[in-house]
Amino acid sequence: MSETVIELPSAAPAFAHPREIPADDWNRYRGNVAEILAAFGLPLDTAGTRETPERFLRALYDATGGYDGDPKLVTTFPTESDAGGEAFAQVVEGPIAFAALCEHHALPFFGHAHVGYIAGERIIGISKLTRLVRLFARRFTVQERLGEQIADTLVDLVDPLGVAVRLEASHLCTQMRGVEERSRTTTTAWRGAYRDAELRREFLELTR
Ligand SMILES: [Zn+2]
């Protein structure tokens, strides 16, 4: 199976766009974080907490690494010719664990993604589907948009006959405060052949 890097003029910025934070800015952010944490009750003068502002900033930066892009994502393969026998054969991958930050509260929502597609001329490696989910999950986002972005980008990558994405997540912004809900939120995104109710039902059964 030969590996091919395909050209993606429109989607290219999503795949490699590293952030650059000047050291002076980073140091100022660390000071701001320290001020907020201390004001809210965290003593910053202990061995365990002295580096907490730096660690928090670093963790937040890593958790939003999706903005840096993922150049390793842009690799697809031709569909093997003998795999074309069955019409509308689904490739379904999951559960793919993800953690994202809700853009309303900058607090995590996390859960599992299932991604399905019906291959046309090209397929994408299973590990690339994980990369695809994380490219958009490691950002400030909302669950609905996350599913739409995964679906649209998979369409751009392999031009499949259909794409299905199902996300199930717990949102800390509702669970940590006030209502203390323990519920999980499920969203779906459909493209192409998955407009067919029978295919949607099959996908949902496979991912339940
Ligand atoms: Zn929220």
Q: 112 C-alpha to center of ligand 1: Å?
A: 18
Architecture of domain 75-206: 2-Layer Sandwich (3.30)
pTM as predicted: 0.86
Q: 147 C-alpha to center of ligand 1: Å?
A: 16
CATH 1.10.286 domain span(s) along the chain: 23-63
10-42 pLDDT, tens digit each: 444 456 778 999 999 999 999 999 999 999 999
For 65, residues 6+ apart whose C-beta sits below 8 A from its C-beta are 138
pLDDT surpassing 50 at residue 6: no
- Judged by average pLDDT, the poorest of 12-16, 63-67, 106-110, 160-164 is 12-16
pLDDT surpassing 90 at residue 84: no
Mean pLDDT of all residues belonging to the chain: 88
**Which DSSP category does 107 fall into?**
-
CA dist 25 and 173 (Å) reads 28
156-194 pLDDT, tens digit each: 999 999 999 999 999 998 888 766 667 889 999 999 999
Was domain 23-63 assigned CATH 3.40.50?
no
